[in-house]
Amino acid sequence: MELFNSAFGKNITFVRPAYFVINGFIGLPNMKSYYIFLFFLYIISVVGNTAVMAIIYLDHNLRTPKYVAVFNLAFVDLLGSSALVPKVIDIFLFNHNIIPYNDCLTFLFFCYSCLSMQSFNLVALSYDRLVAIIFPLHYQVKVTCRSMLTLITSFWIFAIVAALIAVGLLTRLSFCKSLVINSYFCDHGQIYRLACNDNFPNHVIGLFYPVLIFWLPLVFILLSYLYISYTLVKVATFQPGIKALKTCIAHLSLVVIYFTPLLITFTLMEKIHPNNRIINLSLTSVLPPMLNPIIYVLQTHEIKVSMKKLFKIFFKSKIRNFRSSNLSY
């Protein structure tokens, strides 16, 4: 396909392949069991995140800024894992590892948009905790459902635009050699390294995006919790301080689970073995979405209270329907 590339000021022929080949693990036989394991985690995450979204939707007491962010986190987890895992199962369990060019870029867009949005959502949750603990008297004014929705919407726009830029730059690459992607999905870093023309802009994106999307959010989160800890030690007595910190445990657990494998992967970049990259990215894409609902159910008092209340309402309605059906006989 011949296109005019204004950056170089001349006509350049772009060799865009009909397809890519997803290679998966290198030199490791019988890895289908690992993908079955990922599918098992995916099923748990679908049930868990759907339950969390349903609880927040049904209980009007949870219509607060914090649970707007929690609802969006569950939605992102559900969308991201659903964009990834069924396709991975189709590729490796049903041997459909040849994926059309456009489908591959679409696959990449959804995976990276959701991966980025998970990071930004953790920032929104840390901001909520920061204001709630440091400025409790001003919380109702500073953090509202409207402001939280605005913040999350802006994060969505940023994540989508960033992913579109990355995909757009990939379309400026020619692929005239290998079409084998040494990953388990259409991985940005593995694709642009296959190009046989100048991939410097893509390399810059590959270096810049991890800083912007992962490192900066993590720095903000860590600084916010250091400030929270410093303030509590300075002004609060022991018991109230411990109680306030307990409200942050669930969120900190999510931060550790999400960022640890990602930072290892995107810091080492091409130095990391493809098999290790696959394990890190796949677990980051599936494990946090599975654990997030469990952590919030076990660690968050409001969710547990809401679940008990909804179960009571459900069983009361069942008993009422049962009695009314018996009376009709």
**Residue range(s) defining the domain that contains residue 135:** 19-304
- 242: domain CATH number is 1.20.1070.10
Q: Looking at the predicted structure, is the pLDDT value of residue 231 above 50?
A: yes
- With b meaning 16 or more CB within 10 Å and e meaning fewer, what string describes 124-139? bbbbbbbbbbbeeeeb
Most confident of 40-44, 230-234, 258-262: 40-44
- In degrees rounded to 5, what are phi and psi of residue 253? -60, -45
Q: Looking at the predicted structure, is the pLDDT value of residue 274 above 90?
A: no
**pLDDT score of 326:** 60
Q: Looking at the predicted structure, is the pLDDT value of residue 134 above 70?
A: yes
Residues in Cβ contact with 38 at an 8 Å cutoff, skipping those fewer than 6 apart:
85, 88, 89, 282, 286
**pLDDT score of 174:** 94
**pLDDT score of 6:** 41
Q: Looking at the predicted structure, is the pLDDT value of residue 258 above 50?
A: yes
Determine, yes or no, domain membership for 9: no
How far is 163 from 112, CA to CA, in rounded Å? Answer: 6
pTM of the model: 0.88
Determine, yes or no, domain membership for 324: no
How far is 234 from 254, CA to CA, in rounded Å? Answer: 26
Determine, yes or no, domain membership for 316: no
Q: Looking at the predicted structure, is the pLDDT value of residue 89 above 90?
A: yes
Determine, yes or no, domain membership for 12: no
Q: Looking at the predicted structure, is the pLDDT value of residue 10 above 60?
A: no
Determine, yes or no, domain membership for 313: no
Q: Looking at the predicted structure, is the pLDDT value of residue 192 above 80?
A: yes
**pLDDT score of 273:** 86
Q: Looking at the predicted structure, is the pLDDT value of residue 318 above 50?
A: yes
Q: Who wins on pLDDT, 223 or 29?
A: 223
Determine, yes or no, domain membership for 89: yes
What three-state secondary structure class fits 199?
A: coil
**pLDDT score of 7:** 41
Q: Looking at the predicted structure, is the pLDDT value of residue 321 above 80?
A: no
From the list 56, 216, 236, 218, the residue with the least C-alpha distance to 133 is 236
Q: Looking at the predicted structure, is the pLDDT value of residue 190 above 80?
A: yes
| Percent of the chain residues topping a pLDDT of 70 | 88
Mean pLDDT of 285-314: 81
| pLDDT band for position 236 (cuts 50, 70, 90) | low
Q: Looking at the predicted structure, is the pLDDT value of residue 1 above 50?
A: no
Structural domains counted in the chain: 1
CB 90 within 8 A of CB 188: no
Q: Looking at the predicted structure, is the pLDDT value of residue 12 above 60?
A: no
Q: Looking at the predicted structure, is the pLDDT value of residue 329 above 70?
A: no
Determine, yes or no, domain membership for 311: no
149-177 residue pLDDT tens:
999 999 999 999 999 999 999 999 999 88
Determine, yes or no, domain membership for 128: yes
**pLDDT score of 11:** 53
Q: Looking at the predicted structure, is the pLDDT value of residue 315 above 50?
A: yes
What three-state secondary structure class fits 2?
A: strand
Q: Looking at the predicted structure, is the pLDDT value of residue 51 above 50?
A: yes
**pLDDT score of 8:** 43
**pLDDT score of 180:** 95
